[in-house]
Amino acid sequence: MKSSSLSSYPIDFLKKLLKDMLLIRRFEEKCGQMYGLQKIGGFCHLYIGQEAVAVGSIAALDLNRDYCLTAYRDHGHALACGLCPNGLMAELFGKATGCSRGKGGSMHMFDITKGMYGGNGIVGAQIPIATGMAMRFRYKKEKGVVLCFFGDGAIHQGVFHESLNLAKLWKLPIVYICENNQYGMGTDFHRVSAVEDLSIKGAAYNIPGKQVNGMDVLEVYEEVLSAVNQAKEEGIPTLIEAKTYRYKGHSMSDPGKYRSKEELESYKQQDPILILKNQMVDAKILTEEEYQSYDEECKNISNESVRFAEQSPEPSLSSLYEDVLA
Amino acid sequence: MAVMTMVQAINSALETKLKEDPDVLCYGEDVGVEGGVFRVTENLQKQFGEARVFDSPLAESGIVGTAVGMCIAGLRPVVEIQFCGFVYPAFNQILSHVARMHNRTRGRYRMSMVIRFPYGGGIKAPEHHSESMEALYAHIPGLKVVIPSNPYDAKGLLISAIESDDPVLYLEPKKIYRAIKQDVPDEKFTIPLGQAKVMQEGQDLTLVSYGAMIREAQKAVVMAKKEGYSIELIDLRTISPIDRETLAQSIRKTGRVLSVTEGPKSFGVGAEIISIANEEAFLNLEAPPTRLAGFDTVPPYPRGEGWYFYPPERIFYEIKKLMDF
Ligand SMILES: Cc1ncc(C[n+]2csc(CCOP(=O)(O)OP(=O)(O)O)c2C)c(N)n1
Ligand SMILES: [Mg+2]
C-alpha cells in the first residue's frame, strides 16, 4: 500500500513523526559515541535505519492503555513511547537514575507508565509474553491492543508459532510486527528462512499477514493502524512484516563483513527520515530551516542526556540484592 | 606446536575432529559463514564445506533437538549456543532427552554430542551474557560438564568431549578467550574427562577452582606464598562427574579446602566440594571447608560487575582466615 497523500494528515502529526525519528537517530548516534568512549558497557544495539518502524507503529497506539513490547534493540521503541532520553542514557551508563535503575542496561528499557513494557535480551522472549498481555484486554473486555516487535531472526523461535496459534484461538488483540532488517546478527535471513516472504507465516494459523515498506513511516502507520483497529474491534490478530535495514552493526562490536558497502549505501538512499522530510518539503509544509532547528533540538536533547547520565550517581552496593525476590 | 589463544585452541580441536571423523558436524547460530559470535568456528566452513559446518536458524530448541536425532542416527554433532543465558530455550531438550536418552533406551542410543557455549563474566553485560550456570547442568545425571582454564586444556578436553559417547556440555570462559596464549600442539592429543589437575602442589590448603577463576586463584596463591603459606591449587577441568579421588587425596593432606567459583553461591559447585571434604576427609580437617562464590543474585549490569566478580585479594583474605582458624 502506498501512503496516501500528506494532505490527509494534520501537519503537527507529521512534524511529530519526523521529530520522533530524528530524535532516535541523534540519540543513537550519541550512544555509539559513548560506547566508543567506554561510558556504556556490555552490549549496545543501535536502531539507526529502522526508525520508521517504531515511530510509525507506535503512533497508532493509545499509550495510556495499549502495550508495546520489543527485543533488545529497544532504544527506538522506548523513545517513540515517550520515555525520557535522560533516563535512557543513564540506564545505558548503568547509573542509579536509569529507567531500570542501572540494572537493566541497553537491552532492558521499561516504563510501564508510558506503555513500554520492555526490551528483552532473549531473542523471541517477548512474543508469548505479549500474547499473554493481550489476554488481559479480552478478559477484561477492554479496548486495548498489544504491539509485539521482533526480528527476522526471532521469527524462527518455536514460541513464535506457539503464540500465533494461541492468539488466533483466543481471539487476542495483538499485532505482531516482524522488523525484517535482513540480518540476524551476521546471518542473512535468506540463509535461515525456508520462505522469503515472512508475512505468510501467519497463514498456518489463519492470521492475516502483510508486508510493508518499513522505510516509509506513513505506510507503516497506516497498515499498523488498520491492524490495531481490527484487533481492538474484532479480536483479530495480524502479522506485519516491515522491510527495513539497520545501518550500523548488529551490536557495537560487529565489523559488518557480511554485507557490501553498496548494499548499505543503497538503503541509505531510502532513508526513512529523508523520505518524510522530502515529502514534507515538497508539500511546502516544512522548510529546510525548520528541519535544521529540529535537528539542533534533537542533538541538544541527546547531549543533555549524556550530561545527566554523567552526573548521576552510581547504584549502591546494596542494590545488588534489591529486587531478587519480591 | 603453535602459540594459541583459547579461541584458536578450540578451533584447532574442532578442525582436528572434522578432519579425522566424517560423522562430526558443527552448527549453530552464525557458526558457518560468520564463524561464530566469538569467531571460534572461523574458517571451518571454508575448509570443510557447508554440509559439515553450517548456520542454523535462531532456534536453540531446534538446534539441540535435532542434535539428539542426529546422535541416534549415528552422527556426532558439535553445536554452539551463543551464550550461557541462551541455552534455556533448549533446556527441555537437554534435560528430557540429551541427558536421559541413553538410560531410557537401556544403552541403545548414544548421545554423542557436544554442546559448546561461552559462560561467565568479564564483558560488563547483564544476566544472560555473564552468568555462570554450570551447577544447573552438573545437577542433572547423564551429562558431563567440562570447563577448560587455558588453551592447552581447551583443545585436549574438547577432543575428548567430541570422542565421548556421552553428551558433554563444554563451557568456555569467555573472559579468557583471548587473554592467555600458550604453546598448543597442532596435532591431535586428548586430556581425559573426569580428571582434575593439580596445577601446583602445596601442604597447607587446597584451593579448588576452574575456568576463568583459575587465573584469580593463581594470583591469590602468589600472595599467600609471600605470607609463607603453601597452597595446593587444583583445576577441576571436569565439573561433572567430579574427580572425588584427587580432591579427597589433596584435602586429606592439607586439611583445609577453599573453593573458588563464579556462579551464585547457594546450591553450587562449592557446596559439592565441601561435601566431598566432609565425606572423604573429615578426620583430617583443620578448618571448616569453605566456598567463595558469586552472590545469590542476577549478574548485574556494568557498574556492579566489579562487586559481583571478586578479586584475588578476597581469595587471599579467605585463605588467611582459614590458615588462622
Ligand atoms: C535465545 C537467544 N539466542 C541467541 C541470542 C543472541 N542473539 C542476539 S540478537 C541475535 C540476532 C537476532 O536477529 P533478529 O531477530 O533479526 O533481530 P535484529 O538484531 O536484527 O534486530 C542473536 C542470535 C539471544 N539474544 N537470545
Ligand atoms: Mg534482523
pLDDT greater than 70 at residue A1: no
| Contact (CB<8Å) B303/A94 | yes
What's the pTM value of the predicted model, to 2 decimals? Answer: 0.96
Under the banding of pLDDT at 50, 70 and 90, the label for residue B235 is: very high
Q: Is the Cβ atom of A122 under 6 angstroms away from ligand 1?
A: yes
Same domain, B55 and B152: yes
User: In this predicted structure, which of A41-50, B129-138, B275-284, B297-306 has the lowest mean pLDDT?
Assistant: B297-306
Same domain, B10 and B153: yes
Write the residue with the smallest CA distance to atom 13 of ligand 1.
A184
**Is the residue at A322 inside a domain?**
no
**Is the residue at B9 inside a domain?**
yes
Domain coverage including residue A35: 6-304
Cα dist from A120 to A188, B47, B215, whole Å: 22, 36, 33
Average pLDDT over residues B111-135: 92
Count the domains in chain A: 1
For B34, nearest residue in chain A (alpha carbons): A186
What pLDDT is stored for residue A3 in this prediction? Answer: 46
In the sheet with B53-55, reading across from the earlier edge strand, the strands are: B53-55, B24-28, B76-80, B114-119, B168-173, B144-146, B238-240
Same domain, B81 and B158: yes
Average pLDDT over residues A125-143: 97
| Contact (CB<8Å) A192/B56 | yes
**Is the residue at A324 inside a domain?**
no
Same domain, B15 and B138: yes
Count the domains in chain B: 2
Same domain, B49 and B156: yes
**Is the residue at B161 inside a domain?**
yes
β-strand B182-184 against B2-4: which pairing, if any? antiparallel
Average pLDDT over residues A209-231: 98
Tell me how far the alpha carbon of residue A246 lies from the centroid of ligand 2, in angstroms: 8
Tell me, yes or no, if A314 comes closer than 8 A to chain B by beta carbon.
yes
Identify which has the larger pLDDT, B118 or A321: B118
Same domain, B312 and B179: no
SS3 for A13-32 is HHHHHHHHHHHHHHHHHHHH
**Is the residue at A58 inside a domain?**
yes
| Percent of chain B with pLDDT strictly greater than 70 | 99
What pLDDT is stored for residue A273 in this prediction? Answer: 98
Same domain, B175 and B223: no
What pLDDT is stored for residue B302 in this prediction? Answer: 67
**Is the residue at A315 inside a domain?**
no
Is B96:B68 a contact under the CB 8 Å cutoff?
A: no
Which H or E run includes A34? helix A11-36
Q: How far is residue B284's CA from residue B282's CA, in Å, rounded to a whole number?
A: 5
Tell me how far the alpha carbon of residue A153 lies from the centroid of ligand 2, in angstroms: 5
| Percent of chain A with pLDDT strictly greater than 90 | 89
What pLDDT is stored for residue B306 in this prediction? Answer: 74
Q: How far is residue B143's CA from residue A67's CA, in Å, rounded to a whole number?
A: 41
Q: Is A160 helix (H, G, I), strand (E, B) or coil?
A: helix
**Is the residue at A239 inside a domain?**
yes
**Is the residue at B192 inside a domain?**
no
**Is the residue at B190 inside a domain?**
no
Ligand in closest contact with the CA of B125 = 1
Top residue of A122, A198, A259 to mutate, by most chain B CBs within 10 Å, is A122
Write the residue with the smallest CA distance to atom 21 of ligand 1.
A151
Q: How far is residue B318's CA from residue B11's CA, in Å, rounded to a whole number?
A: 37
Q: How far is residue B181's CA from residue B197's CA, in Å, rounded to a whole number?
A: 19
C-alpha cell at A35: 560506547
Q: How far is residue A64's CA from residue A229's CA, in Å, rounded to a whole number?
A: 16
Average pLDDT over residues B222-241: 98
Same domain, B242 and B151: no
Same domain, B229 and B168: no
What pLDDT is stored for residue A4 in this prediction? Answer: 55
| Residues whose CB is less than 8 angstroms from the CB of residue B294 and which lie 6 or more positions away in sequence, other chains included | B132, B261, B262, B263, B264, B265, B308, B309, B310
Average pLDDT over residues B249-265: 97
What pLDDT is stored for residue A303 in this prediction? Answer: 98
**Is the residue at A96 inside a domain?**
yes
- Give the mean pLDDT of chain A: 95
**Is the residue at A28 inside a domain?**
yes
Using one digit for the tens of pLDDT, what is the confidence trace for B172-218?
999 999 999 999 999 999 999 999 999 999 999 999 999 999 999 99
Same domain, B137 and B201: no
**Least CB–CB distance from B308: residue in A107, A158, A320:** A320
Nearest to A105 by CA among A120, A84, A126, A127: A120
Domain coverage including residue B275: 197-323
What count of Cα atoms within 13 Å lies in the side-chain half-sphere of residue A228?
A: 24
Average pLDDT over residues A112-128: 96
**Is the residue at A164 inside a domain?**
yes
Single residue among B152, B184, B216 that ends a domain in this structure: B184
Looking at residue A27, which CATH number applies to its domain?
Answer: 3.40.50.970
- Give the mean pLDDT of chain B: 96
DSSP A97-144: TSTTTTSS-TT---BGGGTB----SSTTTHHHHHHHHHHHHHHTT---
**Least CB–CB distance from B59: residue in A102, A158, A186:** A158
Single residue among B184, B214, B236 that ends a domain in this structure: B184
DSSP 8-state class, residue A4: P
Beta-carbon pairs below 8 A across chains A and B? 108
Active site residues of B: 129
Single residue among B162, B184, B206 that ends a domain in this structure: B184
**Is the residue at B191 inside a domain?**
no
Under the banding of pLDDT at 50, 70 and 90, the label for residue A2 is: very low
Atom of ligand 1 lying closest to residue A50 CA? 21
Residue length, chain A? 326
